[in-house]
Chain A
Amino acid sequence: MPSTRDIRRRIKSVKNTAQITKAMQMVAAAKMRKAQSAAVVGRPYAQLLNEIMAEAATRTVGFDHPLLTARPVAKRAVIVVGTDRGLCGGLNSNLFREAAKLDKDTTIFITAGRKAAQFVARTRRNLAAEFTYKDTPQFAEARAISKFVQDLFLKGEVDAVDILYPKFVNTLVQQPSLTPFLPIGKLAVTTGTNAPAQELPAASSTDVFDFEPDEETVLGELLPHSLNFKMHQILLETKASEQSARMVAMKNATDNAKQIIKDLTLEYNKLRQANITKELLEITTAQMAVG
């Protein structure tokens, strides 16, 4: 039977925890809004980039670029984009469960974020490089990762590159998602494009694009750039996922702590009452014995 003092001590400690989780929840909520808007503003750019790439690909005949060519896949690399810090619910564990399904022997891992690097090291998988990114992912950070895997791919050390990252669905749902990164393969207009994109090929399908100075130079610049940009978008999205997951996790923690405080307070009051009743009883019994 715990004494009232024990219960009081526990209530105090749970209250402290609740305060911390509440603060973390607020911080995560503020950062989440920032991260989400950062992920959204890049969309028109991504869309136009996609359109241009798709158009460029349909208008060039017999053009090939090393980044476009698919090879039989003997060895592949996976970029695991995780978070730096924990306390974000099941975000990382869900991601790593997917990563664990990949074949250990033929997969090289490249990580972004400290938690991902720890996972790969702990499970003794093949870690080629680990990168970091800041709270607001910079384009330069994305470029570093993207350039590294492009080099791997072009040197023939890997035959395909995929990215595993927590896709942001909405604030409550983040889904681990494995998307192909290299080779770029057949270029196509991806989802989310609106009417002009569908109109254009029909309107000018007979035209052939003129490239200045030539196809190789323009596409040689455009393809790496689009990969860098895609990587950047993924980092932004991961950040949005992380902050959302942390906010939800911390909200749950705060709610739990409040529930515990309520239960403990009830128990404390009951015990206090029982003690008073007991004391009264003792006093009256003593009086009766004396009288």
Chain B
Amino acid sequence: MAATLKLEIVTPDAKAFSDDVEMVTLTGIDGEMGIYPQHMPVMTQLVAGEVIARKGNANIILAVGDGFVQITGERVAILTDMAVKADEIDEAAAEQALQKAQARLGQKLSDEEAATVQAAVVHATTQLKVKRLIKK
């Protein structure tokens, strides 16, 4: 029995994360899921939030955006539009992005622009949330 899972997190900009880990915790559309090796195959939608991967005694925390998750017994594949490691989050930049996006939300926007700005808000708030989480 495999003792590890291959966690892959891919965004349109890069392959954000790819490693063998022992456990993955993520937020699915139906709530938080903890995934160990030999998990039953599941496909679900990912909700913006944190992904925690345990490798050895260390926890790797990432902030991710909305996306899709595919889980098989030996692999967790995450497709998302954003993935940032918690210790790489720039709090000031995220705060600024959030303010800028919120200011734009007040203006009149087309559907397409609104979707983009909304995504920016989600990204920034998630990053801030995760950053605060690890500070505790």
With an 8 A cutoff between CB atoms, is A24 at the interface? no
Select A212's contact among B13, B15, B43, beta carbons within 8 Å. Answer: B43
With an 8 A cutoff between CB atoms, is B91 at the interface? no
Cβ of A232: which chain B residues have Cβ within 8 Å of it?
12
Cβ of A49: which chain B residues have Cβ within 8 Å of it?
79
Using CB atoms, name the residue of chain B closest to A139.
Answer: B12
Using CB atoms, name the residue of chain A closest to B8.
Answer: A48
B68 touches A218 (CB 8 A): yes
With an 8 A cutoff between CB atoms, is A96 at the interface? no
Interface of A is mostly: helix
Cβ of B12: which chain A residues have Cβ within 8 Å of it?
41-42, 45, 139, 229, 232
Cβ of A261: which chain B residues have Cβ within 8 Å of it?
none
Cβ of B112: which chain A residues have Cβ within 8 Å of it?
140-141, 143-144
With an 8 A cutoff between CB atoms, is A51 at the interface? yes
Tell me the bound Cα distance from A52 to B42 in angstroms: 11
Tell me the bound Cα distance from A183 to B121 in angstroms: 33
Q: A203-B74, A232-B12 in contact; A56/B40 too (CB < 8 A)?
A: no
Cβ of A105: which chain B residues have Cβ within 8 Å of it?
none
Cβ of B42: which chain A residues have Cβ within 8 Å of it?
209-212
**B 1-41 to A, binary, CB cutoff 8 A, 1 in contact else 0:** 00000001011111100000000000011100000000011
Select B77's contact among A51, A211, A217, A221, beta carbons within 8 Å. Answer: A51
Cβ of A213: which chain B residues have Cβ within 8 Å of it?
29-30, 44
Select A204's contact among B11, B29, B73, B116, beta carbons within 8 Å. Answer: B73
B41 touches A222 (CB 8 A): no
With an 8 A cutoff between CB atoms, is B75 at the interface? yes
**A 130-167 to B, binary, CB cutoff 8 A, 1 in contact else 0:** 00000000111101100000000000000000000000
Using CB atoms, name the residue of chain B closest to A232.
Answer: B12
Tell me the bound Cα distance from A141 to B111 in angstroms: 11
Select B79's contact among A48, A140, A204, A211, beta carbons within 8 Å. Answer: A48
**A 205-242 to B, binary, CB cutoff 8 A, 1 in contact else 0:** 00111111100011001100100010010000000000
Using CB atoms, name the residue of chain B closest to A221.
Answer: B45
Which residues in window 169-203 of A have CB below 8 A to B? 196, 200, 203
B44 touches A212 (CB 8 A): yes
A45 touches B43 (CB 8 A): no
Select A143's contact among B40, B77, B115, beta carbons within 8 Å. Answer: B115
Cβ of A59: which chain B residues have Cβ within 8 Å of it?
41
Tell me the bound Cα distance from A217 to B29 in angstroms: 10
Q: A140-B113, A204-B72, A213-B30 in contact; A52/B44 too (CB < 8 A)?
A: no
B10 touches A45 (CB 8 A): yes
With an 8 A cutoff between CB atoms, is A44 at the interface? yes
Cβ of A208: which chain B residues have Cβ within 8 Å of it?
41
How many whole Å from B43's CB to the nearest CB in chain A?
Answer: 5
**B 43-55 to A, binary, CB cutoff 8 A, 1 in contact else 0:** 1110000000000
With an 8 A cutoff between CB atoms, is B70 at the interface? yes
B10 touches A211 (CB 8 A): no
How many whole Å from A238's CB to the nearest CB in chain B?
Answer: 17
With an 8 A cutoff between CB atoms, is A55 at the interface? yes
Using CB atoms, name the residue of chain B closest to A48.
Answer: B10
Which of the listed residues A48, A49, A221 has the most CB atoms from chain B within 10 Å of its own CB?
Answer: A48
How many whole Å from A271's CB to the nearest CB in chain B?
Answer: 60
Interface residues of A (CB under 8 A from B): 41-42, 44-45, 48-49, 51-52, 55-56, 59, 138-141, 143-144, 196, 200, 203-204, 207-213, 217-218, 221-222, 225, 229, 232
Other 7 A-B pairs with CB < 8 A, given A52-B70, A140-B113: A45-B12, A48-B79, A139-B12, A143-B112, A210-B40, A213-B30, A213-B44
